[in-house]
Amino acid sequence: MAVITGGAGGNGRAIARAFHDAGYRVALVDVDKASLDAARRDAFRDRSECTTVAADVSIPADCERAANQIVDAHGRIDALVNGAGLYRLNRIDDADFRATYGLLMSVNVEGVLNMTLAARAGLERSQGAIVNIASIESTLAGSASIGYTVSKTAVAGLTRALAADLAPRGIRVNAVAPGIVDTPMVAHLAEDERAGRRAKARIALKRFASPDEIANVVLFLASPAASYMTGSVVVADGGYLLS
């Protein structure tokens, strides 16, 4: 059983399909039930192949309820993908700076910890794996995105700390740090042709990633093929950091 938070998003749907195609049963967790139902229809022809659970990862009780529901139904969790995340512009002089910063930290960082704590018993039972979604902004600072940059830097650090703490339980913890992925989160780059060209010019491969390309890295880190990897943050950015 693979549990994917943020499962209603573009990356979440691609990750769900990748795990399903690899033979996993899949559970999608997201805050909005209607979006989850749409994601299930989009990703799976047979709805019985996918479990959906509406939960807010920033709320520990929601995470406990979601994990318990999945374990009660399926007996175990083989992989947890902490993909739930928000991006918001966050300038230090903004009137709502603190509120936006707090929101980004509560979902992007606390959400990872909350879901990991909730799922750890099910993961220990299967000697499973956790894959967190970080960002190349854990390495560099994005413009006008203080909360996002800090939160994704924290996800990278949390990945390493959890890997050290959970290794005795037989649970591996790694992260993927994507560059720019062609999802609704970066729709502004598609709308602003000049900004899109500038962004692609900085990438060695001269294009954005598809969600499927990131999903393949996530699947690898969760699979037995990565059995000797824990505490790693794997960059998948098309060469963005080369420039």
Which tens digits make up the pLDDT trace of 114-154? Answer: 999 999 999 999 999 999 999 999 998 877 899 999 999 99
pLDDT digits (tens, 9 = 90+) for 8-66: 998 999 999 999 999 999 999 999 999 998 888 877 765 567 899 999 999 999 999 99
Beta strand 79-82 with 129-133: parallel, antiparallel or unpaired? parallel
Q: Are 220 and 186 in contact (CB under 8 A)?
A: no
Q: What is the pLDDT of residue 43?
A: 75
How buried is 69 (Cβ within 10 angstroms: 0-12 exposed, 13-18 middle, 19+ buried)? middle
What structural domains does the chain harbor?
2-181+211-235 (3.40.50.720)
Predicted structure pTM score: 0.94
148: annotated active-site residue: yes
Query: What pLDDT shows up at residue 99?
Result: 97
Q: Which of 87, 148, 228, 240 is catalytic?
A: 148
pLDDT tens across 157-200, in order? 999 999 999 999 999 999 999 999 988 777 666 667 787 888 89
Name residue, tokens 């393949």.
216
Which pLDDT does position 47 carry in this prediction? 57
